[in-house]
Amino acid sequence: MVKLTTRTGIDIRRTLPNARKRTIGAWCFVDHFGPTTQTESMAVAAHPHSGLQTATWLFEGEVEHRDSLGTSQRIRPGQLNLMTAGRGISHSEQGLKQSTNLHAVQLWIALPEEARQNPASFQQVTNVPEFSFDSIDVRLFVGTLGGHDSPAKVYTDLVGAELRIPTGKNGTIPVSSTHEHGILIVSGVALINGEVTPAENIQYFSPGISEIQIEALGEDSLLAVLLGGEPFDEEIVMWWNFIERTHDEIVAAREEWNSRGPRFGQFKDEIGGWTAAPELPNLILRPRKD
């Protein structure tokens, strides 16, 4: 568990990347925060991104997104905010005071080479497909699953879905055998393909399986997030809020943001100010892939 200064007072559980796995498909970053009643402390000042998409998915609460494209968009549970940074964008996030609880996952998707220099864009998806596999209720926010398609625009073959299972119930999810998959247990305890997985853990599956069996154990219902995709074979350099391909590209992105150049744009919000990029480590950042 870590605490980030941009979300002061809110505990962040970061499960990807980790020591054993850096990506699941093109999913390269998973933060789970909340549930918390401290909505006023959710104030993420203006900061940049490049080479990635951010996917914000709420379980409880309400957050306002603003960005350098001029977007001002509130997000509620069951909706997806998908921001494509491309070559560069800046944005802020603020928890709204009327929300009693705040509980969400913040996900990043690495953009492939052919898309990472695209102009920035923003999409809110309000018509997320909802369906069930046995006793598993599914909200599909990215990709294709069980013959259903999310309208979210992504650039690699992915799946992202919220899963809810009443305690003592179970079901089977059909998945693509060409994908790798991970299931993040947000709350509750799961039995996944015969293995017990507690909250705040990701159960990982290599390509080759065609179904995942899940049962909700214990006294509480199960809340989980399914992430999957074609293995992402490109080498990337991920540092702070940037995903590039070389050390020099990271240096350039950092300098352009800290000098307040035009690449990442500017905007106004109620938070005010902006978050400067930290000092680079005293070493050459090397490209990596799983």
Instruction: Enumerate domains of the chain plus CATH numbers.
Output: 1-126+235-290 (2.60.120.10), 129-232 (2.60.120.10)
Q: Point out which residues pair with 189 in neighbouring strands.
A: 217
Residue 17 is predicted with a pLDDT of 87
Asked if residue 146 has pLDDT above 70, the reply is yes
Asked if residue 97 has pLDDT above 80, the reply is no
Residue 2 is predicted with a pLDDT of 27
CA distance from start to end of the chain: 23
Asked if residue 71 has pLDDT above 70, the reply is yes
Cis peptide upstream of residue 17 (ω within 30 degrees of 0): yes
SS3 20: coil
Residue 213 token pair: 């069996």
- Classify residue 20 as exposed, middle or buried by CB count within 10 Å of its CB (0-12, 13-18, 19+): exposed
Quote the mean pLDDT of the chain.
92
Asked if residue 12 has pLDDT above 70, the reply is no
Residue 96 is predicted with a pLDDT of 80
Residue 6 token pair: 């941009």
More confident residue, 39 or 4: 39
Q: pLDDT-derived band of residue 41, with 50, 70 and 90 as boundaries?
A: low
Which residues, 6 or more positions from 44, have their beta carbon under 8 angstroms from its beta carbon?
A: 6, 7, 92, 93, 94, 271, 275
Give me the mean pLDDT over the 169-175 stretch. Answer: 98
Residue 138 token pair: 């599914």
Give me the mean pLDDT over the 9-38 stretch. Answer: 82
Which residues, 6 or more positions from 15, have their beta carbon under 8 angstroms from its beta carbon?
A: 30, 32, 184, 200, 201, 202
pLDDT tens column, 181-210: 999 999 999 999 999 999 989 999 999 999
Residue 19 is predicted with a pLDDT of 77
Residue 102 is predicted with a pLDDT of 86
Residue 8 is predicted with a pLDDT of 43
Rounded to whole angstroms, what are the CA distances from 280 to 30, 78, 240?
22, 37, 9
Residue 242 is predicted with a pLDDT of 98
Q: What kind and span of H or E run contains 252?
A: helix 247-258
Per cent of the chain over pLDDT 70 is 93
Closest CA relative to residue 74, chosen from 93, 47, 53: 93
Report the C-alpha dihedral over residues 142, 147, 151, 154, rounded to 10 degrees.
50
Per cent of the chain over pLDDT 90 is 83
Asked if residue 138 has pLDDT above 50, the reply is yes
Residue 290 is predicted with a pLDDT of 72
Q: pLDDT-derived band of residue 10, with 50, 70 and 90 as boundaries?
A: low
Residue 264 token pair: 């990442």
Residue 250 token pair: 């990271």
Q: pLDDT-derived band of residue 234, with 50, 70 and 90 as boundaries?
A: very high
